[in-house]
Structure 1
Amino acid sequence: MSAHPGTPPHPHPLTARAAAPVAVDSHAHVFLQRLPLASARRYAPAFDATPAQYLGLLDAHGITHGVLVQPSFLGNDNRFLLDTLRAHPGRLRGVVMTDPAADEKELASLDAAGVVGVRLNLVGQPLPDLGTPGWQTFLARLKALDWHLELHREAADLPALLDAALPAGCRIVVDHFGRPHAAQADGDLGFAALLRRAASGRVWVKLSAAYRNARGVPQADAQSACACARALLEAFGPERLVWGSDWPHTQHQDQADYARSLGALADWVPDAAQRRRILGETAAELFRIPPAI
């Protein structure tokens, strides 16, 4: 694979599906190296991931819409993401990072730009107490806007986060399979607890970036991802699972590209009708995308 993540490969056969007027990539990032970086960050990008590159990949693979997620290394400076949303209002939606003190006026402005959720990227960060009055007020504001709260954290810590957030009534989207422990996905108590939270009816999970949960043993990792996907599908059904490319696969560019990310969905969800539901109706409803372009 080329070291550059932005070159559109040939379309994968999965894009030849018979009927899916809307097909959504629920998780991607755009950024430029020259953008100001957050002072507290785990890494800094060594390449650009431009909107033009991303839209070219969507076109090459028959994906009609994309959801851009604020990268952690840009912190709460959402300006580049918002500019991109405003330039492509019919095709892109956004998930921002913002302070929980954000008021209704600020959130309404983000909503008008195409934002549909707020991300808490908590990997390597202290866990917030989402049960405090300040957080509950913020979550109530998300519910009023019909936004979701996106959680990115290892599975072991998800139960406490979910149990604190669910009473507020907003939708919750869990990143990257729920980040089960790579060496013990089948016995990960946090992952098992995530499956039980499906009964709430307000939790969605992204089938994305299985390589972020991997041990580096290709065959075993592929089997583990498929097992996790089957468990998630049984618990949540295609009505509350979405797919994401995780483009441009930051820190994993040597392991993934767009075609492989999309092709993996067929391994995780072998049934074509369920894949169409995940890519189409489920994602369109969650991210407030019209039924046709």
Structure 2
Amino acid sequence: MSDTFPASIIGIDGHAHVFSRELDLTSARRYSPDYDATLAMYRHNLQVHGLSHGVLVQPSFLGTDNSYLLDALKQAPTQLRGVVVVERDISRAELEAMDRLGVVGVRLNLMGKALPDFSEPAWKVLFGHIAELDWHVELHRHVADIPTLVRGLMPFGIKVVIDHFGRPDARLGLDQSGFQKMLELGLSGRLWMKVSGIYRLDGNEQENLEFAQAALPLLEQSFGAQRMVWGSDWPHTQHEGRVCYASVVEQLRALGCSAQAMRSLLIEAPQVLFDFAPVEA
């Protein structure tokens, strides 16, 4: 498929993955896909659901080999942006090469891992590069640890993006400590939230949706609508048997956003965060 799509931005999917089952998987993986999630399949989903642009995030099971993601960016450079996973000692030259291809951030998927010490010299060097490139750091971790991680990143002056509502446990409600502390930190004006992965909130389908519906206005009050973006999380790894692109679009509608809030989630906020060209007049 060539790099053709609507000239103006009509909707940005801020979080998706592409991969092939034939790729070499990292030995440290928690999950192994038995199917393909190709760029062509992803772009078809965008088209079917009235979206024009997307952000590809490196899946954890591919480790730091971002070659498949980078190849996708080369095929659709105007339509796509990328978020990579890298070694701490990656060179500035390698990061700059990724920047030229449309990479805008680095993901720290810390699910099931020991919490890092961001005061270590290697982290300081990496975050210095990220700040100078004007990239963001994306955090994926359960909400109890999000405040500690955010506080560790704040001294570096970089944009911090939190995955999937911060991964709270919907069964514990809005008063759970980590979620409340995250809301307090959101008032700093330096954090972004991905409104995505509702099905990853640890409750049943109804509990997860009700939590997301109740959490959204609190997040908007704390983070600001201009720092909240939506993502499909396609192809919904580990949940692909019961979740599809159409169902996450339906969940988005079920959040009950106003027309302006929806425009902010799908166009205005992600356009800024992911450095997409302005909408044509």
* TM-score > 0.5, shorter chain as reference: yes
Check if 1:153 corresponds to 2:136: no
Candidates 215, 224, 238, aligned match of 2:211: 224
Shift of 1:269: 4.6
**Aligned counterpart for 1:287 among listed residues 236, 254, 274:** 274
2:88 matched to which residue of 1? 100
Kept after mapping to 2: 8 A contact 1:185/1:191: no
Q: Which residue of 2 aligns with 1:44?
A: 32
| 1:172–1:185 Cα change, 3 Å | same
Question: One-letter code of the match for 1:183?
Answer: R
1:240 aligns with 2:217: no
Q: Distance in 1 between matches of 2:36 and 2:243?
A: 17
Counterpart position of 1:215: 203
RMSD: 1.4
Distance 1:127 1:87, change over 3 A: same
Moved over 4 A (4+): none
- Report what 1:124 is aligned to: 112
Displacement of 1:40: 0.5
* Correspondence 1:7-26 to 2 at 5 A: 21-26=9-14
1:267, distance to aligned residue in structure 2 (A): 2.5
Match of residue 192 from structure 1: 180
Instruction: Determine the C-alpha separation between the residues in 1 that align with 2:154 and 2:87.
Output: 19
2:206 aligned with 1:249, yes or no?
no
Percent sequence identity over aligned pairs: 45
Match of 2:123 in 1: 135
Residues of 2 paired with 1:266 and 1:229: CA distance?
Answer: 13
Deviation at 1:271, TM superposition (A): 0.8
- The whole-number CA distance in structure 1 between the counterparts of 2:256 and 2:222 is 13
Distance 1:211 1:248 in 2: 13
Amino acid corresponding to residue 286 of structure 1 in structure 2: L
Which letter does structure 1 place at the counterpart of 2:235? P
Alignment counterpart, residue 32 of structure 1, candidates 10, 16, 20: 20
Alignment partners' CA distance in 2, 1:290 and 1:113: 14
Q: Would you say the 8 A contact 1:158–1:194 is kept in 2?
A: yes
Can you give the 5+ residue segments of structure 2 that lack an aligned partner in the other structure?
Answer: 1-7
Q: Find the aligned partners of 1:21 and 1:252 in 2 and give their Cα distance.
A: 29
- Following superposition, the deviation at residue 266 of structure 1 comes to 2.5
- Which moves more between the two structures, 191-200 or 259-268? 259-268
Using CA pairs below 8 Å that are at least 6 residues apart, which structure has the higher relative contact order?
1
Q: Find 1:91's aligned residue among 79, 103, 107.
A: 79
- TM, length-normalised to structure 2: 0.94
Give how far 1:100 is off: 1.5
Deviation of residue 135 (structure 1)? 1.1
Residue 75 of structure 1, aligned match among 42, 50, 63: 63
Paired with 1:253 and 1:187, the residues of 2 have a C-alpha distance of 30
Name whichever of 219-228 and 240-249 sits farther off. Answer: 219-228
Paired residue for 1:204, among 192, 202, 205? 192
